[in-house]
Amino acid sequence: MKCLVLVEQEAGAIKDATLSAITAAAKIGTVHALIAAEGDAAKQAADAAAKIAGVEQVLVAADGAYAHMLAENVAPLIIGLMEGYDAFVAPSTSIGKNIAPRVAAKLDVMQISDIISVEGEKSFTRPIYAGNAIATVESSDAKMVITVRGTAFEKAAAEGGSASVEEVTPAGNPGLSNFVGLEESGGERPELTSAGVIVSGGRALKDAETFDKVITPLADKLGAAIGASRAAVDAGYISNDYQVGQTGKIVAPELYIAVGISGAIQHLAGMKDSKVIVAINKDEDAPIFQVADIGLVADLYDAVPELTEKLG
């Protein structure tokens, strides 16, 4: 099986989700990495991708049309290359989820979304019903299109490979859509989906100011990313790209600290594969305690500042 893996990069730096997708693809067959990007970023990403362990070849399409990874522009490039591949593999990020089904439909194959394990050449497991069930599915299509849940696979080593780099001809711009702008959130903190530690807050934090006052110092102390439940996002405490859950980000850090989060299934679907879960909640019957490795029944307004002070 020959797999073409979509590389996601920012300013030439390859994202962790791609490294996980490469690990998954290597379990299916040989791995070729595809970089679609603008000029300099494409070159830097190609150099970086060539060093990833397990990558046999790097294909680079450098064109302004790929600067913002618009699905309308990137999908035709992939479709054109798929003649020589048995599978197209993309990380299950907002970019991968946007592009892959467009590729699948044009190849007339059913996509297998968000796989968490490779069971055979054409069989995979994937969570359904918000992670309340795990389905094992087998594809009968001639070619496969797969998206990979990053937290379910180890990251491929960024060094150790020595792939050859080949330029491919860009597929042009069909002119269906235009990038207007990007309003970034975040900043210096580790990225939520790849952070080793996450401190997450829920509705019990009252308002945006309280959320920041309680959660941020603890996150700073631990060098952690900040997360939030849907309730906290909907109540406006924090913007929605911090949301952990079925409809937000799926995370699996070493340590997940849930503060004032009851543990609705929507939220658990996004974090229950974390290595260690700590819950701080006033309500001792909160469902979060059923999955927490360490639970502390306490008022978060007392417990979190005390924890922040006593750590490190």
Residues of span 32-61 touching another protein by CB under 8 A: none
The answer to whether residue 311 forms part of the interface with another protein (CB under 8 A) is yes
How many Cβ atoms are within 10 Å of 100's Cβ, its own excluded?
26
Nearest in space to 294 (alpha carbons), one of 279, 283, 311, 282: 279
Q: Within 95-134, which residues bind another protein (CB under 8 A)?
A: 95, 97-106, 108-114, 123, 126-134
Q: For residues 38 and 35, give the distance between their C-alpha atoms in angstroms, rounded to a whole number.
A: 10
Q: Say if residues 71 and 99 touch (Cβ distance below 8 Å).
A: yes
The answer to whether residue 220 forms part of the interface with another protein (CB under 8 A) is no
* 243 annotated as belonging to a binding site for a ligand: yes
**Tokens read off for 217:** 């110092």
Candidate segments 18-26, 39-47, 163-171, 296-304, binder of another protein by CB under 8 A = 296-304
Nearest in space to 70 (alpha carbons), one of 173, 184, 185, 183: 173
CA–CA–CA angle 251, 258, 220 (5° rounding)? 85
The answer to whether residue 88 forms part of the interface with another protein (CB under 8 A) is no
- Residue number, 162 or 290, with CB nearest to another protein: 290
- Residue number, 207 or 275, with CB nearest to another protein: 275
The answer to whether residue 283 forms part of the interface with another protein (CB under 8 A) is no
The secondary structure element, H or E, covering residue 255 is strand 255-259
The answer to whether residue 227 forms part of the interface with another protein (CB under 8 A) is no
Among 93, 151, 200, 229, indicate the residue that binds another protein (CB under 8 A): 93
The answer to whether residue 306 forms part of the interface with another protein (CB under 8 A) is yes
Q: For residues 84 and 213, give the distance between their C-alpha atoms in angstroms, rounded to a whole number.
A: 54
* 214 annotated as belonging to a binding site for a ligand: no
- Residue number, 160 or 186, with CB nearest to another protein: 186
Q: Measure Cα distances from 109 to 77, 81, 143, 281, 293 in Å.
A: 17, 15, 7, 46, 42
Q: How far is the CB of 55 from another protein (least distance, A)?
A: 23
> What are the binding residues for FAD?
203, 229-230, 243-247, 260-267, 281
> What are the binding residues?
203, 229-230, 243-247, 260-267, 281
